[in-house]
Chains A and B, each alone.
Chain A
Amino acid sequence: MTDPLLELRSVNKSFGPVQVLHDVDFRVYPGQVTALVGDNGAGKSTLVKTIAGIYRADSGDFAFDGKPVTIHSPKEAADLGIEVVYQDLALCDNLDIVQNMFLGREATSGGVVLDELTMEERARTTLASLSVRTVKSVRQSVASLSGGQRQTVAIAKAVLWNSRVVLLDEPTAALGVAQTRQVLDLVRRLADAGLGVVLISHNMVDVLEVSDRITALYLGRVAADLPAKESNLSQIVELITAGRSGDIGIPAATAAESA
C-alpha cells in the first residue's frame, strides 16, 4: 500500500473539561476515498476542523507527505493543499459560478483589475476535468443551481487550487437520488485523479459504495480503520453505535470510560 498523504497520530482535543478527541489516529491515502463515520457527537466535525486548522489540537502529530507539519490556521491548511467543503457550502447566491469559485483568491491583471478571462477559463477547465456537464453556463448565478450542482461548484472550488486533500462534510445530506448519484460519482473521480478524499456521511450505503477505507469514530476514539471491501453494513452500524463489532473495536472498558 502507498504511504499516507496525510497522517494524524494520537491527536487529542478538549473543549474545557470535555475531551472530544482521544488519541485519534487518522490516515488519508492518495487516490483513495476515506470515509469518516460516527454518530452525532462522535467527534467527526472536530476532527475535520482540526485538520482544516480551525481548531488547534492539544497534542498529537501531523504528517503531510511523510514530513511532520503543523496546522495552526486555515491558511496553513490551504497552503499544504488541504481544502474543506462544509455542509452549508458557503456560496454567495448573488454571484455566478466563476465568481464563487475564485472568491477571495481572484485573479487580477496588474494587481488591481480582475482578470475575468483567466478566471472563466480556469473555472471551465476545472469543471470539465471533473466531467461536470449539468451546468448550463459558468456565468449563471449560483442561486439558480440545484442542490447537486451547488455541491459540485463547492467541490470544484476546493479542487481549483491544486489541492491534494479534500474533506467533504456530508456532501449528499440534502440531495435527491439522482443528485446524490452525481456527487458520489464526482467524489470517486476526485480520488481517481489522485487526490486524498475524506468523505463524512451518515449514509452507510453511500459510504460502502464509494469509499476505499472506513474510519469509524465512537465517542472521540477511533473504533476501527478498515478497508471498505472487508466490511459490511451491519458491522459499520455496530461500530458507530456500540464502538465495537465482534473482534474489532474499542474494548468495552475503554468505551465506558469516555462515555
Chain B
Amino acid sequence: MTTTPETTDPSGSSGTSLAAADFANDRASASLGEAFRDWRDRIRGGDMGALPAVLGLIVLAIVFSILRPQTFTSELNIANLLTQAASISVLAMGLIPVLLLGDIDLSAGVAGGMSAGFTAVAIDRSGQHWTLAVLIGLAVGALVGLVIGLLVSRLGIPSFVVTLAFFLGLQGVTLRLIGMGGTVPVRDEVLRAITIKSMPVLAGWIVVVGLLAAYGALMVVRQRRLAQRNLQRPPNALLAVKFASLAVIVLAFTAVLSQNRSRSAALEIAGIPYAVFIVIALLVFWTFVFGRTAYGRHMYAIGGNREAARRAGINVTRLRISAFVICSMMAAISGIISSSYTGSVAPGSGGGNTLLYAVGAAVIGGTSLFGGKGLIRDGVIGGLVIATIDNGLGLLNQAAYINYIITGSVLLLAASVDAISRRRRSATGT
C-alpha cells in the first residue's frame, strides 16, 4: 500500500470526528444533487425499488381516467378501489417475509379464505362475539403457517411443494367447514364496517394529520441525532421533498374521500374506509419490525446468505418458521377483510387469482422473488397497482378472458423486471 499522507478533514472541523477523517471518501452528508446522482446510479445498476410501481400507477391512473372519465375518478370509485386494494395489500405484506427468505407460500390465499371461514362460522353458527371469532381466525392462520414452516425448515421440503399441497388441502377443509355449494354470511356489524363504513370526516382528518405529523417529527428527530454524531444521512432537502410529496398525496386523497360519495340524496357516505386504516396500521407495524429490529435484520441476512446468517449465530430454522406464521396470519386478516367486502365466505374464497394478485403486488412493488430484497411498503404500493388494474378493467366492461390475460401479463412483466434488475445488480455490484 502506498503510504498516503494523513487525510485532512474536508469540512475543517478536525476535532469532531477522528473516525470520519480516516475515510477519505466516506461522506456523512450529501447535497441534494449528490443524492440524486446516487439514486440515478442505483436505478441504472438495477436497484429500482418502487419506481416501476409508482410510474405504473401514474400511467394506469391516466389511461383509465381518459377511458372512463366519469366513473374512474369518481369519489365512490376511489373509495371502492382503496377498499379492494386493502385485502390484496395485506396479503402481499404478509407474503413479503416469506419472499425475503427466497421461499414462496402458494397457499396463503386459501389459508386466508379458510381462516375467514372459521371466523364467519364462529359468529354465524356458534354465536360467538366477533373479537373471539377473529382470534379464532388468526389462530387458524398461525397454525397453518406453523405446520408449513415446520415442513419446510425442519423436513426440508421445498416451500413451493409444501404450499402447493396446502393450496389443495386447505380448500378441502374450507369446503368441509362450509358445506358443498353453501356460503356463510358475514353479518356482524363490526366486521362489515371494516369495508363498508368509513371513519367520520373530522376524525379522519385528525388521524391523517396526526399520522403525518408523527411521521414528520420522527424524520426530524432521527436526522438530528444522525447529524449530532456526524453519521451518514440523507440531505435535509431530500427528506423535505419526500415528506412534502407524501403529505400532498395523502391530504389530497383525504379531501376526495371526505366528499359525499352517495348516489342517493337520502344517505350520506363520506370519509376514509376503515380498511385503509387497518392497512396503514399493519404497514407501520411490520415496517418497524423489519426495518428497526434485530429480528428483521436477521430475516434479510438469511435471504442474502443463509450460511453466513447461520454462522453469525442466527437460528435460521426458527426464523423461517416465523415467516410462514406471519404470512398465514396476515392471510387470515386479508381473508377477513375480503369477507367483510363480499359479505360472505364461500368454499372458493381466497382461491382463484387471490394469491397471484398478492404475489404480483409484492413483486411489482419491488420485492425480489430471489430473496433478500424487499420492503413491507412494496406490498401496499403493488397492491394499489393490482387493484387499479382490476378496478379499471372492471369499469371497461371487458370480457373476463381479457382481464385474466392482462393481469397475468402484468405479473410476468413484474417478474421479468425483477430478474433483469437482479442480473444488472450482480453485473454492476450495487
Taken together as a complex, chains A and B put the C-alpha atoms of A144 and B225 apart, in Å, by: 27
**Cβ contacts under 8 Å, B4 to chain A:** 133
Taken together as a complex, chains A and B put the C-alpha atoms of A94 and B7 apart, in Å, by: 30
Taken together as a complex, chains A and B put the C-alpha atoms of A257 and B6 apart, in Å, by: 57
- B18, CB-defined interface residue at 8 Å: yes
The answer to whether A90 touches B18, judged by C-beta atoms less than 8 angstroms apart, is no
- A67, CB-defined interface residue at 8 Å: no
For residue B312, which residue of chain A has the nearest CB?
A104
Taken residue by residue from 109 to 134, chain A's Cβ proximity to chain B (1 for < 8 Å, 0 otherwise) reads as 00011100100110011011001110
The answer to whether B19 touches A99, judged by C-beta atoms less than 8 angstroms apart, is no
- A70, CB-defined interface residue at 8 Å: no
The answer to whether A141 touches B430, judged by C-beta atoms less than 8 angstroms apart, is yes
Taken residue by residue from 281 to 305, chain B's Cβ proximity to chain A (1 for < 8 Å, 0 otherwise) reads as 0000000000011100110110111
**Cβ contacts under 8 Å, B192 to chain A:** none
The answer to whether B301 touches A135, judged by C-beta atoms less than 8 angstroms apart, is no
- A143, CB-defined interface residue at 8 Å: yes
- A235, CB-defined interface residue at 8 Å: no
Taken together as a complex, chains A and B put the C-alpha atoms of A104 and B307 apart, in Å, by: 12
**B70 CB to closest chain A CB, in angstroms?**
46
Taken together as a complex, chains A and B put the C-alpha atoms of A74 and B232 apart, in Å, by: 33
The answer to whether A117 touches B229, judged by C-beta atoms less than 8 angstroms apart, is yes
Q: Which of B24, B312, B426 contacts A133 (CB 8 A)?
A: B24
The answer to whether A92 touches B232, judged by C-beta atoms less than 8 angstroms apart, is no
- B264, CB-defined interface residue at 8 Å: no
- B372, CB-defined interface residue at 8 Å: yes
- B309, CB-defined interface residue at 8 Å: yes
Chain A positions 169-211 with a Cβ under 8 Å from a chain B Cβ = 181-182, 185
- B23, CB-defined interface residue at 8 Å: yes
**A125 CB to closest chain B CB, in angstroms?**
5
Taken together as a complex, chains A and B put the C-alpha atoms of A185 and B294 apart, in Å, by: 34
**Cβ contacts under 8 Å, B307 to chain A:** 88, 90
**A115 CB to closest chain B CB, in angstroms?**
10
Chain B positions 373-430 with a Cβ under 8 Å from a chain A Cβ = 373, 425-426, 428-430
- A91, CB-defined interface residue at 8 Å: yes
The answer to whether B229 touches A181, judged by C-beta atoms less than 8 angstroms apart, is no
- B311, CB-defined interface residue at 8 Å: yes
Most chain B beta-carbon contacts within 10 A, residue among A103, A114, A137: A103
Task: Given A92-B372, A121-B231, decide whether A133 and B300 contact each other with a Cβ distance below 8 A.
Answer: no
- B44, CB-defined interface residue at 8 Å: no
**Cβ contacts under 8 Å, A131 to chain B:** 22
Taken residue by residue from 58 to 88, chain B's Cβ proximity to chain A (1 for < 8 Å, 0 otherwise) reads as 0000000000000000000000000000000
For residue B2, which residue of chain A has the nearest CB?
A181
Taken together as a complex, chains A and B put the C-alpha atoms of A106 and B291 apart, in Å, by: 13
**Cβ contacts under 8 Å, B1 to chain A:** 181-182, 185
For residue A181, which residue of chain B has the nearest CB?
B1
Task: Given A75-B313, A103-B308, decide whether A136 and B26 contact each other with a Cβ distance below 8 A.
Answer: yes
Task: Given A128-B18, A128-B23, A135-B25, decide whether A117 and B301 contact each other with a Cβ distance below 8 A.
Answer: no
**A187 CB to closest chain B CB, in angstroms?**
12
The answer to whether A135 touches B312, judged by C-beta atoms less than 8 angstroms apart, is no
- B20, CB-defined interface residue at 8 Å: yes
**Cβ contacts under 8 Å, B309 to chain A:** 92, 103-104
**Cβ contacts under 8 Å, B196 to chain A:** none
The answer to whether A114 touches B294, judged by C-beta atoms less than 8 angstroms apart, is yes
- A229, CB-defined interface residue at 8 Å: no
Taken together as a complex, chains A and B put the C-alpha atoms of A94 and B298 apart, in Å, by: 12
Taken together as a complex, chains A and B put the C-alpha atoms of A67 and B20 apart, in Å, by: 39
- A80, CB-defined interface residue at 8 Å: no
- B209, CB-defined interface residue at 8 Å: no
For residue B45, which residue of chain A has the nearest CB?
A144
The 7 closest A-B pairs by CB, nearest first: A104-B312, A92-B304, A94-B304, A128-B22, A90-B308, A94-B372, A124-B19
| Interface, chain A (partner B; CB < 8 A) | 74-75, 86, 88-95, 99, 103-106, 108, 112-114, 117, 120-121, 124-125, 127-128, 131-133, 135-139, 141, 143-145, 181-182, 185
| Interface, chain B (partner A; CB < 8 A) | 1, 4, 7, 18-27, 225-226, 229, 231-232, 292-294, 297-298, 300-301, 303-305, 307-309, 311-314, 372-373, 425-426, 428-430
